[in-house]
Each structure stands twice: as structure tokens, then as C-alpha cells.
Chains A and B, each alone.
Chain A
Amino acid sequence: GEDVEQSLFLSVREGDSSVINCTYTDSSSTYLYWYKQEPGAGLQLLTYIFSNMDMKQDQRLTVLLNKKDKHLSLRIADTQTGDSAIYFCAESIVPDKLIFGTGTRLQVFP
């Protein structure tokens, strides 16, 4: 079945690392995505990873994929107040159809 789960909230101190986790159920996922949604805004594509990769790094962002456990994580290094937002993971099973997770609200405090 198609089900993507995330924890609802994460609170971190400014300057620390944030790790947002996501689990999915369909092993045939081809691409997995991370989006950021700020209040009142649309979705911003942060990064994505192909299913045959284990890790992808892009500046402060590191994506880890464990296909065996169907687990995806997004690590944000040196978290800033501007990183406060809702983060959605999404999987793509058939081309173009994205199944979104429930979203994790990240709060960064000074």
C-alpha cells in the first residue's frame, strides 16, 4: 500500500543539527523527495534522491536512504531560525505521482 509517515513535530536549538525522519511502505519507490513549506507559502523542493543511492549531500542538507528498512532522513546542519517550517517527504512510485507524508513541523529556538 501507499503510506508515508513522519513524526509531527521537532524542536531544535539554533546551531544544532536537525534530523527529520520518514518511513514509507512501497519498496518500488523510484525517487524520494524532501519539500519545505513555510507559513502561507507553497512547497519548495529541497532535494531528492534516487532509490539506488544511499546518501546525497547538498550544502547543509544530507539525505540518507535505507531501502531495507524503507527509511528516509533529512539532516540539516547548523539549523537556523529561517529553517523553521513544515518538511514533507514524498515518494514516487509511478512516474510523476507523488505520495506525501504527513509533514514534520520544525521549530528552531534561539
Chain B
Amino acid sequence: SAVISQKPSRDICQRGTSLTIQCQVDSQVTMMFWYRQQPGQSLTLIATANQGSEATYESGFVIDKFPISRPNLTFSTLTVSNLSPEDSSIYLCSARDWTYEQYFGPGTRLTVT
């Protein structure tokens, strides 16, 4: 199984600023993803992070708001831009290797004031 770490684990940011979240996997994986979990709710897929190319975004999520990078097979970043209180959520990175097992990081808890 893949072990996934995220930084930061939590942050409090002011409205209008941006936060970049890092995700590191301990082994090479085929797929990496970013999810959002709003307070008291389930998880929603934001995008698939593609190595060396633009991420694939789900309906309702756009690159200008959630730019994503994946420079190699084990690392990805998600930036949440122009923050508003509605962006207060937990953001989770996940990864899948050659099996159908998808693993999640511990999450980054973002609070926007």
C-alpha cells in the first residue's frame, strides 16, 4: 500500500490569499487525485493530477481557482486561490498504484477568515 503525506496539516488563511498544499507519496503511483471534504459532508473529487500535463477537473472546479501540478510520479500540489470562507474544508490527496486500491493522505484542514 502507498503511504501519503500532506503539508501543511492545517492552516488559517485570510480572505483573498492563496494556500498551496503539498502531497508526497512514498512510492511511484499511476494516479493522483485531489478531493474536498466540506464540514460535516462527504468527499468530492476536485481533479485528477496528471504527470507533466494539465490536471483533469471535475464539473464545478476550474483551473484558475484550483491550479494543480504534478511534476513527477510521487509528488503533487494543489493551490486554492483567492480564498473565501466557503473554501474552508479539508483537502485530501489520494493515489492509486497498479491495483484498484486508492489510498488517502491525512488531509489539510483549511480555515478561511
Contact = CB atoms under 8 A, between A and B. Distances in A.
Interface of A: 31, 33, 35, 41-45, 48, 50, 88, 92, 96-98, 100-103
B96 interface: yes
Given A50-B100, A100-B44, 20 more contacts: A31-B100, A33-B102, A41-B106, A41-B107, A42-B4, A42-B92, A42-B104, A42-B105, A44-B104, A45-B102, A48-B100, A88-B43, A92-B100, A96-B31, A96-B102, A97-B45, A98-B43, A98-B102, A100-B42, A103-B42
A110 B94 CA distance: 34
Q: What is the interface of chain B mostly: helix, strand, loop, or mixed?
A: strand
A92 B43 CA distance: 13
Interface residues of B, number: 22
